[in-house]
Amino acid sequence: MFNDHQNQQQEFEVGNFMLEEINFDPFHQPTQQFQETITTWPKNHNHKLSSIPTKPLQNNISLSSLEILRNHGTRFMKNITNTKKTSLDNEQEKVSAEGIIRVAGTRYAQKYSSHWNDGFSIPTHPYGFDQWNFSEEENKDVELSQFLFAAAEKVSFQQFERAKKLLFYCQWNSSATGNSVQRIVFHFSQALLERIEKETRRFTKGSLKNEESELLRKMDLNKSLLCHIKIPFNQVMQFIGIQAIVEHVVYDTRIHLIDLDIKSGVQCIALMQALIERQDFMVEIFKVTAVGLNSCKNKIEETGKNLASFAESLKLPFLYKCVLVEDMMEIKEVDFEIEENEAVAVYSPYFLRSLISRQDCMENLMRVLRYIKPSIMIILEMEASHNSPSFVNRFMEALFFYSAFFDVVETCMKEEDDCRMMTEAILSAGIRNIVGAEGRERNVRNVKIDVWRRFFARYRMVESGFSEACVYQGELVAKEFVYGKFCNVEKNGKCLILGWKGTPMHSISAWRFL
Query: What is residue 78's predicted lDDT score, i.e. its pLDDT?
Result: 52
Buried b (16+ CB within 10 A) or exposed e, 32-59: eebbbbeeeebeeeeeebeebeeeebeb
Model confidence over 394-433: pLDDT tens digits? 999 999 999 999 999 999 987 767 889 889 988 999 999 9
Query: What is residue 173's predicted lDDT score, i.e. its pLDDT?
Result: 95
Alpha carbon separation from 237 to 162, 327, 432 (Å, rounded): 43, 28, 26
CA 374 to chain centre: 27
Alpha carbon separation from 410 to 359, 413, 424, 426, 484 (Å, rounded): 36, 6, 10, 14, 14
Query: What is residue 93's predicted lDDT score, i.e. its pLDDT?
Result: 61
Query: What is residue 287's predicted lDDT score, i.e. its pLDDT?
Result: 98
Give the Cα separation of 50 and 53 in Å (integer). 8
CATH 3.40.50.410 fits 221-383+448-513, yes or no: no
Q: Give the Cα-Cα-Cα angle 38, 40, 43 (nearest 5 degrees).
A: 135
Q: 84 forms bridges with which residues in the sheet?
A: none
DSSP string, 173-237: T--TTS-HHHHHHHHHHHHHHHHHHHHHT-PPTTTTS-HHHHHHHT--HHHHHHHHTTSHHHHHH
Sign of CA dihedral 30, 33, 39, 42: negative
CB within 8 Å of 71: residues ≥ 6 apart = none
Give the Cα separation of 417 and 414 in Å (integer). 5
CB within 8 Å of 429: residues ≥ 6 apart = 212, 213, 216
**pTM to 2 decimal places:** 0.79
DSSP string, 291-348: EEEGGGHHHHHHHHHHHHHHHHHHT--EEEEEEEESSGGG--GGGG-PPTTPEEEEEE
Residue from 25, 24, 37, 32 nearest 58 by CA: 32
Cβ-contact 232, 260 below 8 angstroms:
no
Query: What is residue 24's predicted lDDT score, i.e. its pLDDT?
Result: 26
Residue 141's H or E segment, with its range, is helix 136-156
Q: What is the gyration radius of the CA atoms in the chain, in angstroms? A: 24
Q: What is the DSSP letter of 379?
A: E
Query: What is residue 374's predicted lDDT score, i.e. its pLDDT?
Result: 96
Q: 151 forms bridges with which residues in the sheet?
A: none
Name the burial class of residue 514, with classes exposed (0-12), middle (13-18) and buried (19+) by CB atoms within 10 angstroms of its CB. exposed
Amino acid at 216: L
Query: What is residue 204's predicted lDDT score, i.e. its pLDDT?
Result: 65
Domain segments of the chain as ranges: 11-208+388-441, 221-383+448-513
Q: Give the Cα-Cα-Cα angle 443, 497, 74 (nearest 5 degrees).
A: 90
Q: Give the Cα-Cα-Cα angle 177, 183, 185 (nearest 5 degrees).
A: 145
CB within 8 Å of 226: residues ≥ 6 apart = 419
pLDDT digit of tens for each residue in the chain (514 aa)? 554 444 443 333 333 332 222 222 323 333 232 222 323 333 333 333 333 333 333 444 454 555 555 555 555 455 544 444 333 343 346 788 989 998 988 888 776 543 333 333 333 443 344 445 788 899 999 999 999 999 999 999 999 999 999 999 999 999 999 999 999 999 999 999 999 999 988 766 554 445 666 666 667 777 777 888 888 888 999 999 999 999 999 999 999 999 999 988 999 999 999 999 988 889 999 999 999 999 999 999 999 999 999 999 999 999 999 999 999 999 999 999 999 899 999 999 999 999 998 889 999 999 999 999 999 999 999 999 998 888 988 999 999 999 999 999 999 987 767 889 889 988 999 999 999 988 888 888 999 999 999 999 999 999 999 999 999 888 889 888 888 889 989 999 999 999 998 899 999 999 999 9
Give the Cα separation of 256 and 447 in Å (integer). 29
